[in-house]
Amino acid sequence: MSDMKASVLETKNGFHVEGYERISYDFTFLDGVFNPKNPQLAACYERWGRVLAVTDLNVYNLYGEQIEKYFQHYHLELKVHKSKIGEKAKTIPTFLSIVDSMTDFGIIRKEPVLVVGGGLVTDVAGFACAAYRRNTNFIRVPTTVIGLIDASVSIKVAVNYGNYKNRLGAYHAPIHTFLDFTFLRTLPKAQIRNGFAELIKISTCSHLDTFNLLDKYCEELIETGFGRADGASEEVRAAADKINKEGIHEMLKLETPNLHEIGLDRVIAYGHTWSPMHELVPETPLRHGHAISIDMAYSATLANNRKLISDAEHRRILSLFSRAGLSMDHHLFDEDILDKGTAAILKTRDGKLRAAVPNPIGTCTFLNDVAASELNAALRRHKQLMKEYPRNGEGLEAYVDASDTGYTENNAREAEAIETAAEEAGTLNDDVAIHGGSVPNGHANGHINGYSNGVTGKVANGIAEELSNGINGFTNGSRA
């Protein structure tokens, strides 16, 4: 929730306006958020008597029945918008499909949309809420490690555009976030590993105690879903709970004074200097955790070259990534991509690199005075070091798959449906054609409405009723 305080002062030639917005929102740790014995979530909707939920298809297939029974128990009418939201479908058409479902539902100004899913779902649905009437409330129930640890902390919401992650978005806080770590019982290990990277991120540059726990329990945390799997020891469960709570708390302390990123030196941007570029370079995109791990590992090598971290600390960081099965390098991460990533991030960060690096583990330094020659030399050394690690530093299950909905299921049939719909729509707004354009090098990379396999097409109105990511909330050819 937010309250606005403002003043308007008359000046010699006009007026001067100052406004201050108070932002407040809550986090609740609650295992079993959809257990009928826990009324906390239902209480948020008692006033409205109904719920519009946005979730991804994977989550709905696993938990849809439980969610429906929960709201039936509390006599709340439930409508569910199901989307296949992955990096390839984190796009404007997916965003618009959620907007259309909000319109069809007749969402009332202060009525909160319920968003259930991983970080991709909360990003796109949160952006839809930010845009709808310029400010629609929402409640988050994250279901992945990244969603619980990282995306739940930030108030940033966005979609990808062109070849760039999160190029279109807003700052829009949910009114409440429920953190239920029992979702990790059904999360694939590849996704556990994916989220593990976010905890390495925050601990390496800001919380040594958490880094030490990750280092001690690395393999067990991944194998047991952070202690939530059957048979997990109490020791691992206790360590996981401590890691999760302290990791979230640390990120909140760092982010809360800078929710709108007015300050651009951000500790939690460790691993996010070059990764926004190279994450989407492969034809099948890297998982976010693997992309930032490559960035973090390379940044650690850069820091070691400058003697900001010792050789022992450097190897300790690399060893943790390797033990977790996270990527530290990729064959397409080369000097050209490094240069392009640098150029892109300089624009984002107002002309400065602001590369967060450990100095030492548990603290952070920002680098600005780094020449291209130094960056390239660090990359060459990093790639030599990677030869000492399994798979030359490439990670396990590093690429998105069917558990990252919206990529593998965006097949050629759906791309063809886009082209057909565009041809039928023809023109828009007094015969001004809307062109999707060509996709270079056989890569989609989010250029044209999130469809994959490098299909060339034209899009007008974005209407394709058979599309899982199309307008009006259609999934698998039926109304969501």
Instruction: Establish whether the linkage from the previous residue to 112 is cis, with ω within 30° of 0.
Output: no
Q: pLDDT band at residue 261, thresholds of 50, 70 and 90?
A: confident
- Give the list of residues 6+ apart from residue 22 with CB closer than 8 angstroms, or none: 2, 3, 4, 5
Q: How many CA atoms does the CB half-sphere of 143 hold within 13 Å?
A: 27
Q: Is 20 strand, coil or helix?
A: strand
Q: Among residues of the chain, what percentage have pLDDT more than 90?
A: 70
Model pLDDT for residues 362-408, shown as the tens digit of each residue: 999 999 999 999 999 999 999 999 999 999 999 999 998 866 654 44
Q: Are 322 and 329 in contact (CB under 8 A)?
A: no
Tokens 């060893």 correspond to 319
Least confident of 69-83, 198-212, 278-292: 278-292
- Of 114-118, 285-289, 472-476, the one with minimum mean pLDDT is 472-476
For the packed helices 372-386 and 335-348, what is the interaxial angle rounded to 10 degrees? Answer: 130
**pLDDT: is 452 or 402 the higher one?**
402
156 in Cβ contact with 149 (< 8 Å): no
Average confidence (pLDDT) over 412-436:
36
- Give the 3-state secondary structure of residue 396: coil
Average pLDDT, the chain: 84
Residue-wise pLDDT for 145-186, tens only, equals 988 988 788 899 999 888 778 899 999 999 999 999 999 999
Percent residues over pLDDT 70 in the chain: 82
Q: How confident is the model at residue 440 (pLDDT cuts 50, 70, 90)?
A: very low
Q: Is the pLDDT of residue 133 over 60?
A: yes
Q: Where are the beta strands (DSSP E) in 407-464?
A: none
Return the biggest CA–CA distance within the chain. Answer: 73
In eight-state DSSP terms, residue 280 is: T
Q: What span, in angstroms and rounded, lies between the C-alpha atoms of 465 and 475?
A: 9
* pLDDT reported for residue 285: 87
| pLDDT tens by residue, 297-311 | 999 999 999 999 999
**Cβ neighbours for 369, distance < 8 A, ≥ 6 positions apart:** none
| pLDDT tens readout for residues 346-357 | 999 999 999 999
Q: What is the pLDDT of residue 465?
A: 32
Average pLDDT over residues 416-428: 39
At 363 the pLDDT is: 97
